[in-house]
A and B are shown apart, each in its own frame.
Chain A
Amino acid sequence: MARGHDGDRWGRGCWRPGSLTASRRPVVWVLVVVLFLLHFILHIGFGIGRAAPDLLTIALLLVAREVGLGSAAAAGLFFGLLEDSLSVLAFGANSVTMTAVGMIGSLTRDLFMGDSRLFVVSYLFVGKWTRDFAHWILIGDELRRPFTEEVLVQGGMGALYVAAIGLVLTLFVRLTAES
């Protein structure tokens, strides 16, 4: 695939393979901020817990497609630290997980282009499932639940939930950008 650009490959101000078109980018950034706020309002403010989708991971995966590798890692670390600050016994697990997810998400721009519905849904599903799997590995023996329950069942359902939300958001972004 040709890279007809003069800017840095992963730096700022350059054409980014796989990122959304320029008209949609402002909508995506607004969406990221809204998802960030909504995640903590639902999980902490309303105390809904697992019934609420993991909007923070969606926000991170969206950010990762829009910024460079380092910025995606920084966003992941920040998001992870916020989650870790509320989990005393597993401090650091979310930080490492979210940083890794941010970096991997950013690297996918070199592998996959476009923002078709199928891609976005698959990207969010795999991203969320990877996040849960990595978190399960890092959380420590004391808190670790059985793999089948935590990763396959809960992780799979969580990833489906996130993918469904992502599908709705994709439609919303398209409609907003086009209008």
Chain B
Amino acid sequence: MVAYAPERETSGARRQVVIAAGMALMAATTLYLSDDAQQRIAQTLQASVLKPFIWTQETLAQARFRADQIGFLQSEVDSLTAVLSTQGALLDENRGLRDLLGLAERASPLYVRATVTRPGTPGSESMFLVDVGREDGVEVYAPVVSAHGLAGVIRDVRARDAVGMDWTHPDFRAAAMLEDGSAYGMVENVRGQFREDDRLVLNGTAYHESLANGTRVLTSGLGAIPRGIPIGRIDGTAEKQGTWLKSYWLRPSVEPGSVTHVLVAGTGASLDVTDLWPGDTMATDGGGAAGAPAR
């Protein structure tokens, strides 16, 4: 009679189990590595296996930018043709073209131009890469701005690139004030039930200060972010706590998903940049007008 016996284990099977246990241990270890070690691993992989893919994204972003430039140049030619043909409203045309020269012309050379790329992988939501780094004078917590205002801040700087977070990140904070300086507070992200519900809220204002809808909110200059960068506009009362505190919804100046090209503040950039954003530049990147409903 043949007896049932345990299945024969061999050295190959044992080796596989040992390897699997080792891999599981290594995987678990990655959770508890220091930030420096994690960044070294990430940098190594980004500079090796993932480099072609990151390069592809940068190339595509630049190609889109060039395509936009062609459209822009075409519109310039059209505008000039229109001006030459009519010889009228020359002053208005001139003003329009000056506006199109963009924020980069107004900012000091210490603000470096950068292309934004988004990894798009799980866990990297609200994060982006910029193609400027320490060698370009970029530091941690440097503000990342677009023509419409604050797009985010730099979180991690490497030699030639940097990782930033936009305002939808749960860690995002910015000291803020009203445009006229009549009230100060702290702007932070409030997560919604769904990602599309994420909103900005202005906290820490005194209860007796009633802030009118549409009032422009700028960075106050406390902390690492310079004073005067638009964050958004007041868009209603978010919460009242008893009779001592109110918070307000903000309609953001910048829609993170639409940002592809930005300026990043370099070392020694001005601490007051209010003049870079005159009051009429507050239409959002997403195309929403100042009076449009929030979202």
Contacts and interface: CB of A to CB of B under 8 A. Distances in A.
A18 interface: no
A117 interface: no
Contacts of B120: 43-44, 47-50, 52
A85 B8 CA distance: 41
A56 to B, nearest CB: 9
Contact of B19 (A44, A71, A88): A71
A136 to B, nearest CB: 10
Contacts of A95: 26-27, 30-31
A83 B120 CA distance: 10
Interface string B18-39: 1110111011101111000011
A99 B23 contact: yes
A168 interface: no
A135 B12 CA distance: 31
Contacts of B123: 83-84, 86-87, 89-90, 93-94, 135, 139, 143
Contact of B7 (A9, A44, A76, A87): A9
Nearest to B39: A88
Interface residues of B, number: 57
Nearest to B8: A9
Interface in A60-114: 68-74, 76-77, 80-96, 98-100, 103, 106
A74 B33 CA distance: 19
A88 B31 contact: no
Interface of B is mostly: helix
Contacts of B27: 73, 76-77, 80, 92, 95-96, 98-100
B119 interface: yes
Interface of A is mostly: helix
Contact of A142 (B8, B19, B171, B194): B171
Nearest to B119: A86
B220 interface: no
A86 B20 contact: no
Contacts, number: 187
A44 B7 CA distance: 46
B122 A83 contact: yes
B170 A143 contact: yes
Contacts of A76: 23, 27
B127 interface: yes
B13 A45 contact: no
Contact of A84 (B12, B42, B43, B57): B42
Nearest to B54: A44
A87 B122 contact: yes
Interface in B259-273: none
B33 A10 contact: no
B90 to A, nearest CB: 41
Nearest to B38: A91
A88 B164 CA distance: 10
A9 B120 CA distance: 39
A11 B46 contact: no
A82 B49 contact: yes
Given A47-B117, A98-B27, 6 more contacts: A3-B7, A9-B8, A11-B13, A47-B60, A71-B19, A91-B30
